[in-house]
Structure 1
Amino acid sequence: MRGFVSILFFLGISATPILSQTLVEPNQNFVWESFSFVFPETVVVKWESTSSKKLTVYPAKRDGFFMVVRTLPWNEPLDDKTLWKDSVFTKAIEPKQFQKSLGNQNFQIFQADQVRNQNALRNQVWIGLESKPALWIWIQWKSDRKDLTEFFESNLFLPL
């Protein structure tokens, strides 16, 4: 097996998912998998080319938030709603669940606060109800960043 990996390396063939990254300026429209996003500050965007496509977004200059976006391989991701909350929200404080319509898109949103590594954090998971492929967005930001709270809770990251 070790020899096989060495041959792959020698030929320049990677056994890991292909990663790409780019720098995106604030308020610039960024399109990925036919979905459009806007970010509140300069960010680094990384995407993986695997069977389940994944986009990871984090600030380029200062700490404060991150976002993970995935396309899901099934049409109805809400079969077990507690599974979604438990998979993202560790020791959730005041968990909420609500629906929101933006343009012609409907989303199921799970939201909760939590304390992690002495940081007060706000979490939201957005699940596209009609989008094909199914869209899943996890956003986490520091609660003391009021500019980010306004940006994410006002849906400014999804220019629909």
Structure 2
Amino acid sequence: MKVLICFLFLLGSLSNTILSQTLVEPNQNFIWESFSFRFPEAVVVKEESTTQKKLTVYPAKRDGFFMVVRILPWSEPVTEKNLWTESVFQKPINPKQSEKKIFGKSFQVYEADQIRNQNALRNQVWVQMDSKPYLWIWLQWKSDRKDLNDFFESNLFLSL
């Protein structure tokens, strides 16, 4: 039994390996897999190797938001709203769906407010619809951070 547990632990650690961790300054373009992002404050960007390519972004100095970016292995993106609201948002408040065009690229944007651990949170999931590889971005930030509301809701994080 101990051998099986050790094997599973080793297998799990090999399938989810941190490839790099970088400090990125505010409003600096950060390029990942041919996509370019900007952040409102200094962040730590962690690239991981999983079954999908994954980038995780955390603020370097204070709490307030996080961002997960994945390249999806789909042949066609899933666009059914109920799938997103039920699988991504836990107990969503006022879920919405819209389409946005940014720098000529089409995105489906799913939004919902949420209360988690006594924090009021804003959530957005962006799915690039018009070209492969499909890009999936999940943003979550504290609602009381008005600077983050303006930054993320104005699409300033995308500098594709």
**Residues 99-132 of structure 1 deviation map (CA, whole Å, 9 limit, x = unaligned):** 0001110000000001111100000000000131
Whole-Å separation in 2 of the counterparts to 1:79 and 1:100: 14
Q: CA deviation at 1:140?
A: 0.3
* 1:1-160 correspondence runs (5 A): 2=3, 15-19=14-18, 20-160=20-160
Whole-Å separation in 2 of the counterparts to 1:103 and 1:15: 37
Whole-Å separation in 1 of the counterparts to 2:33 and 2:152: 21
Contact 2:81 2:97 (8 Å CA) reproduced: no
Whole-Å separation in 1 of the counterparts to 2:79 and 2:146: 33
Whole-Å separation in 2 of the counterparts to 1:100 and 1:92: 21
Detail structure 1 runs of 4+ shifted over 3 Å in the superposition: none
Q: CA deviation at 1:51?
A: 3.0
Q: Give the count of matched residue pairs.
A: 153
**Residues 10-41 of structure 1 deviation map (CA, whole Å, 9 limit, x = unaligned):** xxxx6343312111000110011111000000
Whole-Å separation in 1 of the counterparts to 2:38 and 2:135: 16
Whole-Å separation in 2 of the counterparts to 1:75 and 1:15: 26
Secondary structure of 1:74's partner?
coil
Whole-Å separation in 1 of the counterparts to 2:63 and 2:131: 31
Q: CA deviation at 1:88?
A: 1.3
Whole-Å separation in 2 of the counterparts to 1:85 and 1:76: 19
Secondary structure of 1:15's partner?
helix
Overall identity of the aligned pairs, in %: 68
Amino acid at match of 2:96: K
**Residues 62-81 of structure 1 deviation map (CA, whole Å, 9 limit, x = unaligned):** 00000000000013222433
CA root-mean-square deviation: 1.8
Amino acid at match of 1:50: T
Whole-Å separation in 2 of the counterparts to 1:56 and 1:26: 16
Secondary structure of 2:27's partner?
coil
Secondary structure of 1:22's partner?
strand
Structure 2 unpaired stretches of 5+: none
